[in-house]
Every structure is written in structure tokens, then in C-alpha cells.
């Protein structure tokens, strides 16, 4: 079995197309901020034989697999175990000041979803873990065991946009008073039991879907990390460099949209008759709005179904 048999990169051809103008420069440097199993990186290294890759990931299993997959590219590849808000330190450690392309493929990786014992999937019973980096940090079981009702409700509402957040928080508090909740199957049963029959008949999705998303985001501090990572990544781009971001849920996409819009806006005071160079936008948006996967891509790779892709190019240095 080859790597391509177990991992189909999302929107691969579109990512290559968008990054191509930036990676055509001799000696170009690409950062894959979410290396995963290396599918996007492999294709880009193959098609642009002069580029150097710096791949970041917090998941040591993913880095091991990517290392095997990309070994044939030798010293063109540097893999770093770090969360992607550590991009500045990773570049400094690699002796790189500016880069030409940056790719973020956010959310849960294929590896994390497919390994049942990671606890990301509500459809499979497993330890309630959900850490992307299994070497450190708080697990989902820790959160379920220690957060008060108000904090559980807050994360379910904020990160899961769950309408039954309060009801689910109360159900978890009541259940854990009887026995520890340590497995995903236990939590799923609690959530299903707490969901009114009328709501289940509405067909709005599995009762656990939004709660599991919220717990995953909380465990990995995904939004806080992304909010720090995007400006740091954009600061690292040279003029003409491009950044491509793929997100899979609305909270991430709204954050990316806001950061890109701010970077592509003039900072000139209102009413100024002439825009001074120091107020000109630092970036331009390469795609209009958020691009979606085609029906053909969704059929070939169901994990592309919720993707939202945005891209921007640096057009001037900071003032």
C-alpha cells in the first residue's frame, strides 16, 4: 500500500496552482504549517524541484509518516515538531528569514480521524483524548471531568455553536457524579440520552458532532493558536509570496477572513485625499471570497466537502 492509497490531499491541484507563482523563484522556500502525512508537500516538492520545504506539525506520528514519505527529497526537507503559531521560531531555527509560500490545512488530519484510539471520532468508541500532540497537554477526558457547568456550556456554545449547550453541560455534570467519563462512547451515550426526541427527528446531525468539535478545539486551543499563527506567517512572507489557508468549520473560516481582510485594507485615515504609500494594503486577496470543493472533488474525496479555501499575496513590505 502506498501513501497515496491512505491519504488524499484536499484541493491539491488548486493549492499547487495558487502557490505556483510564488514558488517559481529559484531557491524558493515553502512552509507547510500543517504537515500531516505530507501529501501536499510531496506534490509541491515534485513539481517545483528547486524549492526547500519547512514542514511543521504538533503530531509526532504525522511527522514520522511525513518523514518517511519525503525522505527521497533529502536536505530539501526540514520537519519541525511544533504548533503552527511557532512558525517564527521554526524559521529562525532553520536559518530562514523570509519565505515564498505558506500552506495551512486546518482541522483534524486524516491520520487523527482514522486512528480510533485518538478519540476524535464520535462514531468509534475510544479513550476520550483528542490531543493533536499526544506528548503533552490536557485531554478531552480531563475537560469533561473538571470543567464546571458554565465552562462546559461556554465551550459548547462558542466552539460548537451548539443550541443545546446548557442541556448537554448539565447532563455531563450529572453523569460524571455517578461514574468517570473516560471514553468517547460514554459521552456519545450521554449526549444522545440528553437530546429531545423531537430534535433527533429534525435530522440536524448527530447529537455529538458539535460537542466533539468544541472539545477538540478546546483541547488543542485551535482558534487561539490560529489567531497568533496567521499574522506571524504573513509577516514571514516576502513581497510576491503567497499564503493559502483551508479551513473546515465556520469559526476558523471567519477568523481567516477577518485577518486577510485587515491585511488587504488600506490604513489611510478616512477622508484623506491621497493614499500615502505607508497606508497602502500589504496584501491582496488572490481568490474572491472562500472557494469550495467541486462536486467532482467531493465525490472523490468526501473530506473535502466542508472545505473553505482563501488565499492572499504580499504586495509590499510593512511600513
Known binding positions: 38-40, 57, 84, 105, 112
Give the predicted TM-score (pTM) of the model: 0.89
Containing 197, the helix (H) or strand (E) segment is helix 197-202
pLDDT reported for residue 277: 64
Long-range contacts of 220-228 (CB under 8 A, 24+ apart): 220/58, 220/130, 220/131, 220/132, 220/133, 220/137, 222/106, 222/252, 223/159, 223/251, 223/252, 223/255, 225/83, 225/84, 225/85, 226/84, 226/85, 226/106, 226/252, 226/255, 226/256, 227/255, 227/259, 228/85
> Given the DSSP bridges, would you call strands 77-81 and 99-105 parallel, antiparallel or unpaired?
unpaired
pLDDT band at 255 (very low <50, low <70, confident <90, very high): very high
Instruction: Give span(s): CATH 3.40.50.150, the chain.
Output: 3-105+222-314
* Strand 52-57 to 77-81 pairing: parallel
E strand intervals along 220-267: 237-247
203 to 182, 196, 206, 209: CA distances (angstroms): 28, 12, 8, 12
In CATH, the number for domain 118-220 is 1.10.150.170
When pLDDT is cut at 50, 70 and 90, the band that residue 276 belongs to is low
Phi, psi of 163 (to 5 degrees): -70, -25
What's the average model confidence in pLDDT over 258-273? 80
What does the pLDDT average to over 285-304? 92
Question: Residues forming the annotated binding site for S-adenosyl-L-methionine?
Answer: 38-40, 57, 84, 105, 112
Per CATH, the homologous superfamily of domain 3-105+222-314 is Vaccinia Virus protein VP39 (3.40.50.150)
CA nearest to 312, candidates 289, 293, 294: 289
Long-range contacts (CB closer than 8 Å, 24 or more residues apart) made by 159-165: 159/213, 159/214, 159/217, 159/218, 159/223, 159/251, 160/210, 160/211, 160/213, 160/214, 160/217, 161/210, 161/250, 161/251, 162/210, 162/211, 162/214, 164/194, 164/195, 164/199, 164/207
pLDDT in tens, 188-222: 999 999 999 888 777 677 888 999 999 999 999 99
The cell for 217 is: 478545539
Q: What nine digits make up the cell of 274?
A: 491621497
Position with higher pLDDT, 271 vs 47: 47
**Which regions of the chain carry the CATH code 1.10.150.170?**
118-220
pLDDT at 219: 94
Q: Mean pLDDT, the chain, as a whole number?
A: 90
User: For 115-127, what is each residue's pLDDT tens digit?
Assistant: 666 667 777 889 9
Report the distance separating Cα 319 and Cα 316, nearest Å: 9
Judge whether residue 53 has pLDDT over 60. yes
DSSP, collapsed to helix, strand or coil, labels residue 201 as helix
- Cell 489567531 identifies what position? 227
Q: Which residues contact 113 (CB under 8 A, 6 or more apart)?
A: 120, 121
Least confident window among 87-91, 208-212, 239-243, 275-279: 275-279
Structure confidence at residue 140 as a pLDDT band (50, 70, 90): very high
Give percent above pLDDT 70 in the chain.
90
> Would you state the pLDDT for residue 303?
87
Res 1 pLDDT > 60: no
Amino acid at each position: 500500500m502506498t501513501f497515496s492509497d491512505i491519504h488524499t490531499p484536499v484541493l491539491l491541484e488548486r493549492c499547487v496552482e495558487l502557490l505556483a507563482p510564488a514558488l517559481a523563484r529559484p531557491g524558493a522556500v515553502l512552509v507547510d504549517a500543517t504537515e500531516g502525512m505530507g501529501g501536499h508537500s510531496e506534490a509541491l516538492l515534485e513539481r517545483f524541484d528547486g524549492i526547500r520545504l519547512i514542514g511543521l506539525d504538533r503530531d509526532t506520528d504525522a511527522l514520522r509518516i511525513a518523514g518517511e514519505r519525503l525522505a527521497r527529497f533529502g536536505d530539501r526537507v526540514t520537519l519541525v515538531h511544533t504548533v503552527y503559531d511557532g512558525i517564527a521560531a521554526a524559521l529562525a531555527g532553520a536559518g530562514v528569514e523570509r519565505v515564498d509560500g505558506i500552506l495551512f490545512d486546518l482541522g483534524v488530519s486524516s491520520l487523527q480521524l482514522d486512528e480510533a484510539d485518538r478519540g476524535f471520532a464520535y462514531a468509534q468508541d475510544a479513550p476520550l483524548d483528542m490531543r493533536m500532540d499526544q506528548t503533552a497537554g490536557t485531554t478531552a477526558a480531563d475537560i469533561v471531568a473538571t470543567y464546571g457547568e458554565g465552562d462546559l456550556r461556554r465551550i459548547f456554545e462558542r466552539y460548537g455553536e451548539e443550541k443545546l449547550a446548557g442541556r448537554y453541560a448539565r447532563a455531563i455534570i450529572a453523569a460524571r457524579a455517578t461514574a468517570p467519563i473516560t471514553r468517547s462512547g460514554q459521552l456519545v451515550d450521554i449526549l444522545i440520552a440528553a437530546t429531545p426526541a423531537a430534535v433527533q427527528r429534525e435530522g440536524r446531525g448527530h447529537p455529538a458532532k458539535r460537542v466533539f468539535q468544541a472539545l477538540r478545539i478546546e483541547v488543542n486551543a485551535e482558534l487561539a493558536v490560529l489567531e497568533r499563527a496567521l499574522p506571524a506567517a504573513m509577516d514571514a512572507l516576502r513581497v510576491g509570496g503567497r499564503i493559502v489557508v483551508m479551513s473546515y468549520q465556520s469559526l476558523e473560516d471567519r477568523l481567516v477572513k477577518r485577518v486577510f481582510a485587515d491585511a488587504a485594507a488600506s490604513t489611510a485615515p478616512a477622508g484623506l485625499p491621497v493614499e500615502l504609500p505607508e497606508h497602502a494594503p500589504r496584501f491582496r486577496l488572490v481568490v474572491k471570497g472562500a472557494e469550495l470543493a467541486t462536486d467532482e472533488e467531493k465525490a472523490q474525496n468526501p473530506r473535502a466537502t466542508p472545505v473553505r479555501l482563501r488565499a492572499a499575496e504580499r504586495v509590499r513590505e510593512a511600513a
